[in-house]
Amino acid sequence: MHHPSRQAPDELLTAKVPPQDRPAPGTVDGRFISRLLPYVIAAGLMALGISQALQIVALKSQLLATRADVNQLQASNALIGLRLATLEARDSAYASSTIMVAWDPNQHRGVVSLQNLPTPPAGRDYQLWVLDPAAETPVSAGVISGSRPFAVAPVSTQNPGFAISLEPGGGSPIPTGPILFAVAPGS
């Protein structure tokens, strides 16, 4: 008596499949392929997704490196457009003072440097002005008591003029006091 448990595994599998449904020797069963196909497609799509994710990470890394390079170039080129202006004393009492403005026309900001500027009289302040030929009045850059940065609204020219006046304490919206230092636009 032949016991089924002693049959070879291939015989057990083929014993339940009718002979007309068995694949020819050396060929693959079409049902096997149709059951395996979704898994093959899923594995391919997963590999494609992983590949795309790795490309995205690499592109982000390249973008960050490029941005860092651009920032470095912008910082190194920032000095190229910088304008340095020395304000001339309009009053002989201030002849020993030196006032310089470093102006960045692209950012509409600058730094004023004051040397040997006497302390203003009590109740008065020095005020810095940006002279824009297209503006009706000078543009206030604020009260100054020492070297400091300043920024103003955009002006119509790359090379505005600058002036310092003596104003009431706290400053003024328009110049009311004497102009002590100035440099003309375009100078």
**Which pLDDT value is given to residue 27?**
66
Q: Which residues contact 154 (CB under 8 A, 6 or more apart)?
A: 108
Structure tokens at 108: 């509409």
pTM above 0.75, yes or no: no
Q: What is the pLDDT along the chain (187 residues), one digit of tens a residue?
A: 555 556 565 565 555 666 666 666 666 666 767 788 888 899 999 999 999 999 999 888 888 888 887 877 666 666 677 888 999 999 999 999 999 998 888 888 889 999 999 999 999 999 999 999 999 999 999 999 888 888 888 888 888 999 999 999 999 999 999 999 999 998 7
Q: Which of 118, 81, 79, 78 is nearest to 97 (CA)?
A: 118
Domain that holds residue 111: 83-183
From 29, 49, 77, the end of a domain falls on 77
Same domain, 55 and 141: no
Q: E strands within the chain?
A: 83-89, 98-104, 109-115, 124-131, 139-144, 148-151, 161-168, 179-183
175 shares a domain with 88: yes
61 and 87 together in one domain: no
Phi then psi for residue 166, to 5 deg, are: -100, 115
**Dihedral of alpha carbons 39, 42, 47, 50, sign:** negative
Same structural domain, 61 and 141: no
Whether the Cβ atoms of residue 86 and residue 164 lie closer than 8 Å to each other:
no
Q: Please check whether residues 91 and 162 belong to one and the same domain.
A: yes
- What the block records as the tokens of 91 is 């009053």
The verdict on residue 36 lying in a domain is yes
How many domains would you assign to the chain? 2
Q: Is 12 within the bounds of a domain?
A: no
